Structure 1
Amino acid sequence: MATNSSLKGKLTTTGKNANQVQASSLPLKDLLGTPTMKKKFEELMNDRAPQYITSIINLYNSETSLQKCEPMSVVSSAMVAATLDLPVDKNLGYAWIVPYGNKAQFQLGYKGYIQLALRSAQYRYINVTPIHEGELIKWNPLTEEIEIDFEARASDAVIGYAAYFELLNGFRKTIYWTKEQVEKHRKKFSKSDFGWKNDWDAMAMKTVLKSLLSKWGILSIEMQKAVVEDNDEREIKDITSESQNGYNGAIEAEVVVAEDIPMDEPTPTEKQPEGKEDDELDKVAEQFDKGLI
């Protein structure tokens, strides 16, 4: 037999679900205007939150294909861009909100990768560029010796893309993909032609630069998150409920470690008194959840 407390619990749960469905079914502009959404963007963007929300609405209104997507998926994608502090204006090329059927997904542009790399303060040079017919003199994929003469361009036809970076410690890496290699990669991994139809060169440069950085670059925590989120198979999450701190995901990458700092064992005087270790761990966990460490 149901008790008063169990019935109350069921009613509370039903009420929460009803509110969540109601929020999820709101039009985009109304959804962004809810107190929950405003608070989340204010936490990420501070005083720039109203301007950022306006840019999301402008993007949505200018893209018919996005208007066919679930508003919640558009907001979820925009929230990822806001977390990385990147604009969603498609003309800037830092981050895109791309439709996949009736859902939108976040995609990082090549300028976004460069911006995140520069923020890490580990890169002296980083660039990616299209190579036109007549410009490529020599390319050795084993030694990574590349010779380009940009003055020798024979036509505007693009034959490939080159990406390069040099770290502050002197480590350098260069890769070159032919246009055919990029197209093969696109057919194998891309779930949508939306970005490729709008700006093939920008998507190609992003693909080559992402390959370079994810395999050989120094990846800050921010860049690791960007690489994980920039994934066609990323699950769209409902962010009207309380979001979890952190993210679950991993990338396969050869990371260049800036330095290896050994961790010494604590001396007896440094060790925590018996019975206080759990309290210290709880404090550390609380600080981590709050983003203080």
Structure 2
Amino acid sequence: MNNQIVVAQNNMKGLLNGELKGMFRNALKENAGPFMSSLIDLYSDPQGSLYKCDPNDVAMEALKAATLKLPINKTLGFAYIVPYKNKPTFTIGYKGYIQLAMRTGQYKNLNAGIIYEGMELEEDYLTGTFAIKGKKESNQVLGYFCYFKLINGFEKALYMSKEEIEEYGRKYSPSFNSKYSPWQTEFDGMGLKTVVRRLLGKYGVLSIEMQDAIKDEEDIQIRATINNNANKTVLPIEDKEVIELPIGEDEVVNVDTETGEVLDGQMDVKDYENIKAPF
């Protein structure tokens, strides 16, 4: 373990022994200890770059996960803290969204999965769902689906191809190209998350915490879209010579006050003052 990692680890430990410790305890009660231990491990992971971020910023992003009672262990896939330009961002995984949805008690069935080569979708336009036919023939991924049915009988499904998911990630995730991003390390998980979040966000029953989580991610997507499109349009500016009119100190250009047309001749300063302040 290099010195930078050791320093980062000690900095995070010091923070969590201060007032932040009480904040995590308020959110997680008896589970605060294991959660803070996982945060220290995550922050000091030499395989990642989170340790380059400010520990206070990382801890505050982790507190968002603690408030939602979602673990931040990357292998579990419930929630992530992703570094982008040395700034951490909390994001929920597809398992986290399913967990939050099931807590509402409104879902009878909720499932997300991968469509592989050999499998086909048969859409039912009447119900807004589809049937999956065929069997997996290889590990080639074709797309991702999500389906839910509420206890009141309402059901809905969504499918997106792998190409659509990749386009979506490139457009809306500021950290898409980072080698530490889940989009690069766990693409299937992010594909599943995308269909789950989009389907639930549009048609599902959402708790207040789910609404807040979706809104936070939408805000990130809006900022990413702005940043991706900023300064891409070059406005043509003609390079023309600026001509200065020889006007004396006591002279003012004579302009028609109604049309804005520059008239022949120049106006005396006294006449201009009378027009400018007639009363």
Which of residues 59, 73, 78 is equivalent to 1:94?
78
Task: Please state how far the C-alpha of 1:227 moved relative to its aligned partner.
Answer: 1.4
Residue 104 (structure 2) aligns with: 120
Residue 81 (structure 1) aligns with: 65
Secondary structure of 1:74's aligned partner: helix
Residue 163 (structure 1) aligns with: 146
Seq. identity, %: 43
Amino acid at match of 2:71: P
Which of residues 168, 175, 182 is equivalent to 1:195?
182
Distance 1:141 1:92 in 2: 35
Residue 41 (structure 1) aligns with: 24
Q: Is the 8 A contact 1:132 1:156 kept in 2?
A: yes
Distance 1:231 1:71 in 2: 25
Task: Please state how far the C-alpha of 1:72 moved relative to its aligned partner.
Answer: 1.4
CA gap 1:141/1:191 in 2 versus in 1, 3 angstroms: farther
Provide TM-score, normalisation by structure 2: 0.70
**Is 2:58 the partner of 1:71?**
no
Q: Is the 8 A contact 2:77 2:93 kept in 1?
A: yes
Amino acid at match of 2:162: K
Q: Is the 8 A contact 2:113 2:145 kept in 1?
A: yes
Which of residues 123, 148, 153 is equivalent to 2:136?
153
Task: Please state how far the C-alpha of 1:91 moved relative to its aligned partner.
Answer: 0.6
Which entry has the higher C-alpha Rg, 1 or 2?
Answer: 2
> Higher strand fraction: Structure 1 or Structure 2?
2
Amino acid at match of 2:174: K
Q: Is the 8 A contact 1:88 1:96 kept in 2?
A: yes
**Is 2:171 the partner of 1:184?**
no
Task: Please state how far the C-alpha of 1:137 moved relative to its aligned partner.
Answer: 4.2
Instruction: Count matched residues.
Output: 207
Which of residues 99, 102, 105 is equivalent to 2:89?
105
Task: Please state how far the C-alpha of 1:161 moved relative to its aligned partner.
Answer: 0.8
Secondary structure of 1:87's aligned partner: coil
Amino acid at match of 1:216: Y
Residue 211 (structure 1) aligns with: 198
Amino acid at match of 2:171: K
Larger RCO, structures 1/2 (Cα 8 Å, 6+ apart): 1
CA gap 1:48/1:145 in 2 versus in 1, 3 angstroms: closer
Q: Which runs of 5+ in 2 are unaligned?
A: 1-9, 222-279
Task: Please state how far the C-alpha of 1:76 moved relative to its aligned partner.
Answer: 1.0
Moved over 4 A (4+): 140-143
Question: Deviation string for 1:168-193 (max 9, x for gaps)?
Answer: 00000011111111111111101112
Distance 1:136 1:144 in 2: 16
CA gap 1:148/1:157 in 2 versus in 1, 3 angstroms: same
Task: Please state how far the C-alpha of 1:52 moved relative to its aligned partner.
Answer: 1.2
CA gap 1:145/1:46 in 2 versus in 1, 3 angstroms: closer
CA gap 1:178/1:40 in 2 versus in 1, 3 angstroms: same
Question: Deviation string for 1:68-97 (max 9, x for gaps)?
Answer: 111111101100000000111001110001
Considering only aligned residues, what root-mean-square deviation do their CA atoms show, in Å?
Answer: 1.8
Distance 1:143 1:166 in 2: 11
Provide TM-score, normalisation by structure 1: 0.67
Task: Please state how far the C-alpha of 1:228 moved relative to its aligned partner.
Answer: 2.4
Residue 134 (structure 1) aligns with: 118
